[in-house]
Amino acid sequence: MKVVFLQNVEGSGRTGEIKDVADGFARNFLLPRRLAAPATADAVRRAEAIAAAEARRQAELDEKARILAGKMSAPIVITVRAGEQGRLYGSVTAADIAEEASKLAGQEMDRHLLVLDEPIKEVGLYEIPLRLTANVSAALMVEVVGEGVAEEAIEEEAPKPRRKTKKERETEEAASPAPAEAVQEEPVPESPQEQPEAEAAVEQESAEEDIP
């Protein structure tokens, strides 16, 4: 049967396209769901109008997708707790990547646009395909960085101080010098020249006291 497609049907035809299909496929699937119609002149004109409107809409979507792809040129960095061997304590999902990509693009990004077969479970640099529209594809570079790897390695490598035994502590105490005792200062003796002058001063004071 010759039909004109009224909607895009993956693997079969696009809107406005006229094709010959199996009778059973047309009667049991395409026609009941109004995905296609018999290729009459009226149906063809209607399908062409729908195809023109769809082409304009698709062109607008493609243009927006190209602008979005341009914003995805810089890689995004996601920091996750990881072990020493680079294995993550958890995983990075498409939703996690879409969240960070939305910040980079300045607009919401649907996680279903990312082609990620399984969550990321190790640190490293990954290229994630983006299927933005039927006509526009791109790639997003994602760097997964492990948090805590360096700290854990340093803690493991740094030796812990050994606790001293009682005998070692007693040996150190015996070897340490005793505290110095305070030295009492002695009066400095007067010089020979100063002694006659001092004695003369004393005699003069005594003489003055004896005068009535």
Do 2 and 38 form a contact (C-beta atoms < 8 A)?
yes
Picking from 42-46, 155-159, 160-164, which range would have the lowest pLDDT averaged per residue?
155-159
pLDDT of residue 85: 84
Q: Select the more confidently predicted residue: 163 or 138.
A: 138
- pLDDT tops 50 at residue 112: yes
Q: Which two tokens stand for residue 33?
A: 């769901």
The Cα–Cα gap between 41 and 38 comes to 9
In this prediction, residue 157 has a pLDDT band, given cuts at 50, 70 and 90, of very low
pLDDT of residue 54: 86
pLDDT of residue 63: 95
pLDDT of residue 17: 87
pLDDT digits (tens, 9 = 90+) for 37-86: 999 988 888 888 888 888 899 999 999 999 999 988 888 999 999 988 88
In this prediction, residue 120 has a pLDDT band, given cuts at 50, 70 and 90, of very high
CA 151 to chain CA centroid, nearest Å: 16
82: exposed, middle or buried (C-beta count within 10 Å: 0-12, 13-18, 19+)?
A: buried
Q: What is the mean pLDDT of residues 172-181?
A: 60
Q: What is the mean pLDDT of residues 127-142?
A: 93
Structural domains for the chain:
2-63 (3.40.5.10), 72-153 (3.10.430.100)
The phi-psi region of residue 100 (left if phi > 0; otherwise alpha if psi is between -120 and 50; otherwise beta) is: alpha
Mean pLDDT, the chain, whole residue set: 80
Q: What is the mean pLDDT of residues 106-131?
A: 93
pLDDT of residue 100: 92
The Cα–Cα gap between 37 and 4 comes to 6
Q: How many residues are given for the chain?
A: 212
- pLDDT tops 80 at residue 94: yes
Percentage of the chain beyond pLDDT 70 is 70
pLDDT of residue 116: 93
- pLDDT tops 60 at residue 153: no
Q: What is the mean pLDDT of residues 86-97?
A: 92
